[in-house]
């Protein structure tokens, strides 16, 4: 048997294929990470929009004008029956980790306790006249590059640094409005 009769790839051919695969991976990975980051940011914005809509529905139909002071209050359905005001993935805890972001909602420090109880059994003392919500990436630059803030007005603000405002009626909490 002669060496020329043996079929297969030479070592140089295999090294060339491995080098080409390495070059393609080096080109594709940053794009894939950027797409993942953009998806995480879109999910954070959608979560804040869901919180805003839930708070509007809760305030107008259940809390007599007041707002829930944390996400778990929105997850409690009305005592008379019906669905909860927010989806189960956001209403499981006071602070929720979702798609590379930590979503949190709280009563605004510029608010006052609400004098009326809500239809879902939440006492007025735990409701508030204002609220704010934030979405912060787990690892800035990796899971997301933008920090988000939402207040009573419903405008979502975004910035590359944490937005520290806790006033629900804040018209300029930091960053730029995104909607």
- Whether 107 is in a domain gets the answer yes
Closest CA to 155 of 41, 42, 45: 45
- Whether 5 is in a domain gets the answer no
What is the spatial distance between Cα 137 and Cα 68, in angstroms, rounded to a whole number? 24
Q: What is the pLDDT of residues 92-126, one digit of tens each?
A: 999 999 999 999 999 999 999 999 999 999 999 99
Chain centroid offset of residue 28 CA: 26
Closest CA to 160 of 147, 171, 144, 143: 147
If one counts the domains in the chain, the total is 1
Q: List the 101-107 sheet strands across, edge first.
A: 95-98, 101-107, 131-137, 147-150, 156-159, 176-177
Q: What is the pLDDT of residues 34-72, one digit of tens each?
A: 999 999 999 999 999 999 999 999 999 999 999 999 999
- Whether 87 is in a domain gets the answer yes
- Whether 2 is in a domain gets the answer no
pTM of the shown model = 0.86
The number of beta carbons lying within 10 Å of the beta carbon of residue 30 is: 9
């Amino acid at each position: 048997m002669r060496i020329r009769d043996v079929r297969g790839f030479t070592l140089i051919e295999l090294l060339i294929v491995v080098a080409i695969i390495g070059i393609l991976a080096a080109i594709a990975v940053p794009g894939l990470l950027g797409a993942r980051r953009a998806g995480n940011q879109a999910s954070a914005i959608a979560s804040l929009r869901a919180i805003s809509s839930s708070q509007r529905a809760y305030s107008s139909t259940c809390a007599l004008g007041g707002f829930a002071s944390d996400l778990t209050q929105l997850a409690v359905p009305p005592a008379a029956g019906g669905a909860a005001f927010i989806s189960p993935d956001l209403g499981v805890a006071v602070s929720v980790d979702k798609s590379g972001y930590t979503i949190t909602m709280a009563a605004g420090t510029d608010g006052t306790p609400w004098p009326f109880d809500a239809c879902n059994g939440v006492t007025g003392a735990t409701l508030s006249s204002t609220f704010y919500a934030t979405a912060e990436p787990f690892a800035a630059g990796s899971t997301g590059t933008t920090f988000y803030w939402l207040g009573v007005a419903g405008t979502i603000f975004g910035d590359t640094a944490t937005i520290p405002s806790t006033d629900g009626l804040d018209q300029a909490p930091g960053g730029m409005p995104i909607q």
